[in-house]
Structure 1
Amino acid sequence: MNNTVKDKIIESLEKWLSENNFSANEFATKSGVPSSYLSYMRKNQYFINSGSKDVQIDDKYFRMICEVTGFDPENKVSWQPRQTPQFMQMISYLEDAKQYGYTTIIIGSTGSGKTYCTDIFIKQNPKDNFKITVGSMDTIGDLMDKLGVAMRLPLSGSKSKKLNTITKELIRLKLDGRNPTVVWDESEYMKQATLCNVKEMHDHLYGKCGLVMIGTNQLLTKIEKLKNKNASGMPQFYRRVKYGIRELKPIDTRFKEFLTSIADRDLKRFLQDECENYGELHDALLPAMREAERLNEPLTENLVRKVLNLPKQSV
């Protein structure tokens, strides 16, 4: 990475700090870039004096800055947000949860853009939004550790002590005039014990911190099944979240918001026939868009087929 690229990254950082009202120390905490390194970098000094010699600051720290600010020094072709009905719903639900401290469950089909929209929301509201992705093997202890990492909050002791530490920190942020939000993505993988812990967080944080669970209809089915079986803690959990459940509209598989700029009618028909959701459309189009730019060729059905290793269009 040459100094010209580094200068651009630092320029984008300064703009980001100003737009988002972040101090250098807050950014160092969020990004993981050591504050001493950040001080040198902001002065466009990319070496640190270490005893008898100057040591170059590793390129990885510049990439860590880009990860937070969203700046792409290579200016690659990227997927641009479209204001689909699902996108507008997601942003509205997340904004309400953040502003009012609601506990909200957002249900949407696979590929409807739930994760993509959430990531955009967090990048646009980088302060005090903490997103973690639930894994199929995660216990409540695992998820609290993930949340501790996202919050840059050291955790130790029992699960109860960790939960208490997290809760106190979120309340502290609210008392400081901030609007913290915790988002669990892929929440259909949450186990019963984890759902009960979300209920406990709700009891302590409602009105103080937005708690958002995002998942497919499998999450709703799991919650209702556990409630109907009278599983421990689940009727109480359901009572608290019942009126916070929000379902996204069905996906428009004609993809009208996405295909208006594509001139090749055959390509439009191909994508509408092949892709079942926005996620598949992204996976089919983005590599082909980048290949079209690399080759300086128009974006056509045959080019997309070539990139996807599918048979060419028959004549």
Structure 2
Amino acid sequence: METTLKQQIAQGVRDFITTHGISQADVAKKSGVRKEYVNIIIKEESNFMYDAGGKTGLIPAKHFYALAELVGISTKKEYWELQPTDQLNTILSNLQTAKQNGSTNVIIGDTGAGKTYALDLFAKKHPQDVFTLKVGSSDNLGDLIDKIIEQLNISTGKTKSKKIRDIAKKLRELKALGFSPMIVFDESEYMKQPALCACKELYDNIHEHCSLVLIGTDQLIDNIDRLRKRNKAGIPQFYRRIKFGIRQLPPIDRSFATFLTDINDRKLRTFLQRNCENYGELHDALVPALREADETKQPLTENLVRTVLGIPDTMYV
């Protein structure tokens, strides 16, 4: 990595710390870079060399890349530009409103609508008090609670109920310090009954001090409805708390108009519109081809996209 880029990243980290009033320790935790390395990197006129245990050397480039990701500095050419879709604007607006009001919301949108992308943008603007967790298909109640604890960087008791109370205590402390804490569960359609009930208990402990947001597909609502009809323990109570906080995103624009304005090949536009179901699939189809077109100086055409993706002319419309 060139020294000029390292210096740019170092300045970006310094600006990030100043702008958000965040500590070097928090930068280290959020980026995964050792605090000692962070201290060296952000030092004015740093030579980016470490000295530990009698050994010296340049701080590995991977740590600079991690810091660049945290503070929003691109270290490589981007082939996918931010587009102000209806879904993006709606998610950001709902997240901002929930954060300001400390409310509980459930944001529902189609797969590939850019929900995670929007959440990442929002979280990077609020590194001190927005805590995001991705729900895994195998996550149980304990897993989710531990993910929150890890995000908050706190020590807790051993029982689940004590852990939830300790989480609530930390969030109340942040609120008292003037922050507007928010916990966001992404891909919440994977939540099982115990996890949903844990959200209810978490809500009861923090609703006056922290906003709680679940983001997922309509599978989340379908799952809650099934559990409600079976009168599963805790689910009617949980639903009562989120019922009027459910927000449905607009449907995806399948014409992809804002994304395809610079594509001149009419056949390619038609191919993408007919074969891509959402923004995620459009990204997966276009980015490798855009990179190939840039590197080989070829025009971006349907034939190039098919070649890069390994799709024969006889496959797909």
Of the structure 1 ranges 144-153 and 236-245, higher mean CA displacement relative to structure 2 is found in: 144-153
Superposed displacement of residue 308, structure 1: 0.9
TM-score using structure 1 length: 0.93
Once the two structures are TM-superposed, the CA of residue 131 in structure 1 deviates from its matched residue by 0.9
Q: For 1:42, give the aligned amino acid.
A: I
User: Does the CA-based 8 Å contact 1:12-1:69 persist in structure 2?
Assistant: yes
Give deviations 1:7-51, integer Å, cap 9, x for gaps.
222122223333434343432343233333222211223123335
How far the C-alpha of 1:280 sits from its partner, in A, is 0.7
For residues 204-261 of structure 1, the C-alpha deviation after alignment (integer angstroms, 9 at most, x for no partner) is: 2113211111111111011112112211111111111100011111111111111112
2: CA distance between counterparts of 1:280 and 1:50?
46
1:264 aligns with 2:278: no
Code of the residue aligned with 2:66 in structure 1: it is M
* Structure 1 residue 190, shift from structure 2 partner: 0.6
Letter of the 1:20 counterpart: H
Is residue 52 of structure 2 the alignment partner of residue 18 of structure 1?
no
CA shift, 1:286, in A, is 1.1
Output aligned runs, 1:121-136, within 5 Å.
Answer: 121-136=122-137
Partner of 2:33: 33
Residue in 1 that maps onto 2:52: 50
Whole-Å separation in 2 of the counterparts to 1:254 and 1:54:
55
The answer to whether 1:64 aligns with 2:59 is no
Using a 3 Å threshold, how does the CA distance of structure 1 residues 292 and 21 change in structure 2: closer, same or farther? farther
Matching residue of 2:114: 113
Structure 1: which amino acid aligns with 2:35?
A: S
Paired residue type of 1:17: I
Partner SS for 2:273: helix
Q: Is it true that 1:304 corresponds to 2:305 in the alignment?
A: yes
Q: Which amino acid aligns with 1:70?
A: G
2:172 counterpart residue number: 171
Distance 1:18 1:35 in 2: 17
Task: Evaluate the alpha carbon distance shift between residue 261 and residue 42 of structure 1 in structure 2; reply closer, same or farther with a 3 A threshold.
Answer: same
| Aligned mates of 1:51, 1:106 — CA distance in 2 | 50
Q: CA deviation at 1:140?
A: 0.9
Cα drift, residue 277 of structure 1:
0.9
* One-letter amino acid matched to 1:257: T
> Which residue does the alignment assign to 2:88?
87
- Contact 1:100–1:208 (Cα < 8 Å) also in 2: no
Counterpart residue number, 1:233? 234
Uncovered stretches (5+) of structure 2, i.e. residues with no partner: none
Question: Structure 1 residue 303: deviation in Å?
Answer: 1.1
Task: Within 5 Å, give how 1:151-230 maps onto structure 2.
Answer: 151-230=152-231
In structure 2, what residue type is equivalent to 1:77? E
Deviation sequence 1:84-108 (CA, Å, 0-9, x none): 1111110111111111111111111
CA distance in 1, matches of 2:10, 2:140: 39
Q: Shift in Å at residue 156 of structure 1?
A: 4.9
Residue type matched to 1:61 in 2? H
Return the alpha-carbon distance in structure 2 between the equivalents of residues 281 and 53 of structure 1: 48
Do the aligned residues in 2 keep the contact of 1:9 with 1:65 (CA within 8 Å)? Answer: yes
Rounded to whole Å, the distance in 1 between the matches of 2:145 and 2:123 is 19
CA apart distance, 1:5: 2.9
Q: Is the 8 A contact 1:306 1:312 kept in 2?
A: no
CA distance in 2, matches of 1:22, 1:209: 19
- In the other structure, the counterpart of 1:98 is 99
Alpha-carbon spacing, 1:54–1:264, altered in 2? closer, same or farther (3 Å): same
Distance 1:297 1:154, change over 3 A: farther
Aligned twin of 1:149: 150
Where do 5+ consecutive residues of structure 1 fail to align? none
Specify the SS of the correspondent of 1:104: strand
Say which SS state the counterpart of residue 78 (structure 1) adopts: coil
Aligned counterpart, 1:4: 4
**Corresponding letter in the other structure for 1:68:** L
Aligned partner letter, 2:62: K
C-alpha root-mean-square deviation of aligned residues, in Å?
A: 1.9
Change beyond 3 A, Cα 1:310–1:199: same
SS in 1 for 2:50: strand
**Counterpart of 2:50 in structure 1: which amino acid?**
I
Shift of 1:133: 0.9
Distance, in Å, in 1 between the alignment partners of 2:214 and 2:306 is 37
How many residues are matched? Answer: 313
Deviation at 1:169, TM superposition (A): 0.8
Distance 1:254 1:51 in 2: 59
Native 8 Å contact 1:301 1:313 kept in 2: no
Query: What's the offset of the Cα at 1:266?
Result: 1.4
